[in-house]
Amino acid sequence: MNRTKPAALGIAVAAALAAFGVLAQKPDDHLSKSTTVQEIEKYRAALGDGNPAELWEARGEDLWKQKRGPRNASLEQCDLGLGPGVVKGAYTVLPRYFADSDKVEDLESRLVTCMVNLQGFTPEQAKKDPFGGPGKKVPMDALVAYITSSSRGMKMNVAGNHPKEQEAYNLGKEIFFFRGGPHDFGCVTCHGSDNHRIRLQDLPNLTKTADAQRAYTSWPAYRVSQGEVRSFQWRLNDCFRQQRFPELEFVSPASIALTMYLAKNSNGGTFDAPSIKR
């Protein structure tokens, strides 16, 4: 990681924010609405210049190879779906059914399984710190960043043919359309129509292939506003918080089923993450 990158990034963000400042003085109508969208695109392009997620990726590669846990073993023999130890391209076939656990697993749950089976952690230990926060860097985020980065440039190719994979997809679809809570929100509220925004944030229509591809292949992401790499499990957890639902548990069956629905809908899209987002 080049030391000048964070500084360059800061300048780019400042420039993009300045662009917003100019915009704020213009009256809004249908013409300048498209200008707004253009300025957002510029801001996103500026963000792409340097990605601190590289730090997580490097730390994750070390953790993958490092002997850890009660059995003092590395994760190098972990089967992520393409055979023991195969990291390259593994994320493009997840979630998938695993015979050894007799479950459909996404990346995070598969890492938990391997931490238990290979390294001897208890499931509780393996799931204890799912997401990083201020002053707390967790192994899970780093491992996720490393493994997903090893699928960069490859096409999403979730099979979904096994009966348990089909069931997970169908249940994930139900969960996507499930509206509840005090606000009547569901995933579909924000992600079921074309060309919508919340404030200035574009919302992908996750029922449509092109949008699902664009969105799914951009997670995990380094969130500039949080200074953290956020996994897909985190993305779902935080969506449900904003939906005013109770808390979605890490690597829970519903989280994996919903990931199955969204990942399979993105098949054919080129994976390009960890990305960088506001």
Binding site for another protein (CB under 8 A): 23-24, 26-28, 36, 170-171, 173-175, 177-186, 188-190, 192-193, 195-201, 203, 207, 240-242, 244-249, 252-255, 257
Q: Is 239 a catalytic residue?
A: yes
Residue 15's CB is within 10 A of a number of other CB atoms, namely 12
Our CB check for another protein shows the closer of 153 and 163 to be 163
For residue 216, which of 81, 96, 91 has the smallest C-alpha distance? 91
Contact assessment for residue 235 and residue 219, using Cβ atoms and an 8 Å cutoff: yes
Q: What are phi and psi of 175, to 5 degrees?
A: -65, -40
CB of 182 to another protein, least distance (A): 5
CB of 64 to another protein, least distance (A): 28
| Cα separation, 28 vs 8, whole angstroms | 31
Our CB check for another protein shows the closer of 2 and 102 to be 102
For residue 176, which of 130, 210, 230, 212 has the smallest C-alpha distance? 212
Our CB check for another protein shows the closer of 136 and 179 to be 179
Contact assessment for residue 260 and residue 104, using Cβ atoms and an 8 Å cutoff: yes
Tokens describing residue 99 = 């015979």
CB of 160 to another protein, least distance (A): 16
Q: Checking DSSP bridges between strand 96-98 and strand 228-230, what pairing results, if any? A: unpaired
CB of 5 to another protein, least distance (A): 29
Q: Is the peptide bond before 95 cis (omega within 30 degrees of 0)?
A: yes
Our CB check for another protein shows the closer of 88 and 241 to be 241
Residue positions annotated with a catalytic role:
239
